Structure 1
């Protein structure tokens, strides 16, 4: 029985895929499978993947004759997965030895449906740690506990444009599960045509900070 399926979509990743597969070989286990979806690569990606056949236990290779895109490539891998658990990895990522075993140990020990972990972004010699949204570790959250900040579906002005409005509107972010959309702007009385500085807009490109918009 397969415990964990790791789905790795890749397209034209000859610079990275060897490191990714090497890291998976250091995480291999008899009940793990590694599904590599070669999404129509035209460089040496396919040849490098073939070099790991016989060296990486549990390796499954799916080849798309033409690119279908990242989302569809992931779904292709998901359809082929047979594991009790599934995780994804990008073709330019790598994992520390024993990481996947600890991941399975954590989810089994906690008895939850999924786990989220911190990760390290690497650019050359630069390392940046990205933490999971909540500070608690090793804790199962109640279903009602927000695991991510609210998103914004629409914006509305809380001040009527008028003579006091000299280039920026005050706004508030409303909560909704819908994706964020940028604030609407328009010419109002008194020449109110602008918007507050973008940094004040709760980073509307996703509203990932969870901060409430305060106007300017």
Structure 2
């Protein structure tokens, strides 16, 4: 099996930052997307190297927090704790792009856990086995995509093992907006190390 991971929506999972540079400055122009052949708005989900100017450098918490989940977001980037990043690098060394983000608490002091913005360099499209999938989907420009999965009654999602078998962390473009997915091997490591608290997890069946 494989797993789709999303940020949690509980009070303990919801994290809000003031990011530097501001999120608006981390968005390339339409001309940049066009010249580089990247779909508009998909810089962080297209598995292309990202220029230094578009990475977040610092993130300060807007509220008092003693603990943070291991999966957060810095504008359009997924943010991983150092522990999460280490698990990924053990299974896929040198594959993904990571940049350290200086995380500060509300008072401006350094947060005790290191976090990294990640650019996932594996992407998958066309892996969903629609005849075996009961989760809701919709056609977008001729491509069928899963709608955002819910915590209850999402339905079954089936995926072609042959397409994903060489990946441990990837972006699925078979789901609206592009979503983070992990192999069962990586999921097991993350679960064993208690890294998935406050992370929403959806099981994907492999065929």
Identify, as 1 or 2, the structure richer in strand. 2
| TM-score under structure 2 length normalisation | 0.25
Q: Which protein, 1 or 2, shows the higher relative CO under an 8 Å CA cutoff with sep ≥ 6?
A: 2
Larger Rg, first or second structure (1 or 2): 1
Q: Normalising to structure 1: TM-score of the pair?
A: 0.24
